Amino acid sequence: MSDGVQTEMRGAVGVVTLDRPKALNALNLEMCRRLLPQLEAWAADPAVKAVVVRGAGGRAFCAGGDVRAVAASTVEPRGAGPERLSREFFRAEYALNHRIHHFGKPYISLVDGICMGGGLGLSIHGSHRVVTEKLVLAMPETGIGLFPDVGGGWFLPRFPGESGTYLGLTGARCGAADAMWLGYGTHHVESARLDSVLEALVRAEWGAGPASAVVERILSSFHADAGTSVLATQHAAMDRCFAAERVEDIQQALEAEGSAWAQQTWATLVHRCPTSLKVSLRQLRMGRKRDYDEMVAVEYRLSQSMTARADFREGIRAVLVDKDNKPRWHPGTLGDVSEADVEACFAPRDGDELVLAPG
């Protein structure tokens, strides 16, 4: 029984395999609870020089958190237990991401195939991210009534210009060249060579210098150019249109831009959850000036307020259950979302704050 995760030591390398291929390796509570103590043990063990994380099945690294289970739990009768899944899952996921962010040893993600939401949480906080030609990268949360979680408020504002704002609001999908341009990817390697990358790390001479330098030499020896980033060609337009402080102004800027890209982007935003868009933009602007640990506390509050809203259940229904992609949001337009509505999502939660130990 793997509980969705396989862990093993291969030489001086701890290897994690996310093992829910039928669910595209989506991260659930049991996986978080299994991974955190293992990473704690490897961090403290001087015999462990590096950690490698990969996904099973060949289609996905990790398609995100198991939000469908979280949504189902929010309608269970109070007192039955599962309604606490939202609290327990997000607390466990943020604790896991925090451990990765402050790991202190090379942490190498082999990101092959789909990587969305929680998959970025498992990878971007580590030291190295090897992406392949099969990569599909996205933060699609505004399409299901949520917000860019797993540290998105911290890492999206640190992507070039306003590209993180664009990705966080629209949920647009990226390939390997885009990931390299964003700074998400540290190395690009053909999918067929990933097993060779792992073998090279296992066989490494770890006494030949700092572990980080050993890893860098090995990964660089496999690296190949990823080609031209589509996002890079849209960079100037993204910066013009997504610099505003209000979602309504972003939409107006897209209308004024008038290009095919701007029209498609405008059409995408129209179908996203209005409350999610306003909450997410505020989150991303806050994250420009706050460090990662500060944003974790903010995002935990958001995780609880947003999953309690009907829009979250409706988004899951439309995208993941019925798959009609016709969510009925309430409020239904940006103009109907008040500042008080947005502010309430960020309010401190008496007795339910997330405090993690300093890195």
Question: Is position 119 annotated as part of the catalytic site?
Answer: no
Question: Is position 104 annotated as part of the catalytic site?
Answer: no
- Residue 357 placed within a domain: no
**How would residue 351 be classed by pLDDT, with cut points 50, 70 and 90?**
confident
Catalytic residue among 141, 178, 311, 314: 141
Domain that holds residue 201: 5-345
Q: What is the mean pLDDT of residues 7-21?
A: 98
Which residues lie closer than 8 Å to 288 by C-beta, 6 or more apart?
157
pLDDT computed for residue 75 by the predictor: 64
Catalytic residue among 64, 113, 118, 171: 118
Q: How far apart are CA 105 and CA 292, in angstroms?
A: 18
Hey, what's the torsion of the CAs at 161, 164, 165, 171, to 10 degrees? 150
Question: Is position 164 annotated as part of the catalytic site?
Answer: no
- Residue 350 placed within a domain: no
Residues of the chain above pLDDT 70, percent: 97
Helix (H, G, I), strand (E, B) or coil at 273: coil
Count CB-CB contacts under 10 A for residue 22: 9
* Contact assessment for residue 60 and residue 113, using Cβ atoms and an 8 Å cutoff: yes
Q: How far apart are CA 91 and CA 102, in angstroms?
A: 17
**How would residue 202 be classed by pLDDT, with cut points 50, 70 and 90?**
very high
Per-residue exposure over 79-96, b if at least 16 CB sit within 10 Å of its own CB, e if not: eeeebebbbbbbbbbbbb
Question: Is position 55 annotated as part of the catalytic site?
Answer: no
- As for how many domains the chain has, the answer is 1
Model confidence at 294: pLDDT above 90? yes
The mean of the pLDDT values for the chain is 95
- Residue 112 placed within a domain: yes
Model confidence at 125: pLDDT above 80? yes
- pLDDT tens digits, 15-42: 999 999 999 999 999 999 999 999 999 9
Write the CATH number for 87: 3.90.226.10
Hey, what's the torsion of the CAs at 297, 303, 308, 312, to 10 degrees? 160
- Residue 25 placed within a domain: yes
* Residue for token pair 């103590």: 37
Q: What is the mean pLDDT of residues 262-271?
A: 97
Q: List the beta bridge partners of residue 359.
A: none
Model confidence at 260: pLDDT above 80? yes
pLDDT computed for residue 82 by the predictor: 43
- Residue 353 placed within a domain: no
Supply 303's token pair. Answer: 């995780």
pLDDT computed for residue 2 by the predictor: 66
Q: Is the pTM of this model over 0.85?
A: yes
- Residue 59 placed within a domain: yes
- Residue 356 placed within a domain: no
**How would residue 149 be classed by pLDDT, with cut points 50, 70 and 90?**
very high
- 100 closest CA partner among 138, 59, 137, 62: 62
- 134 closest CA partner among 61, 223, 229, 216: 61
pLDDT computed for residue 118 by the predictor: 97
Q: Where are the alpha helices (DSSP H) in 107-171?
A: 118-123, 152-155, 163-170
- 250 closest CA partner among 271, 275, 276, 278: 278
Supply 302's token pair. Answer: 């958001």
331 preceded by cis ω (within 30°)?
Answer: yes
- At residue 243, what are phi and psi to the nearest 5 degrees? -85, -10
- pLDDT tens digits, 79-89: 444 458 899 99
HEC per residue, 281-301? HHHHHHHCCCCHHHHHHHHHH
- Residue 359 placed within a domain: no
- 159 closest CA partner among 227, 238, 220, 226: 238
Catalytic residue among 65, 113, 143, 164: 65
pLDDT computed for residue 1 by the predictor: 46
Which residues lie closer than 8 Å to 35 by C-beta, 6 or more apart?
5, 7, 16, 96
- pLDDT tens digits, 45-97: 999 999 999 999 999 999 999 898 888 887 654 444 445 889 999 999 999 99
- 129 closest CA partner among 87, 189, 46: 189
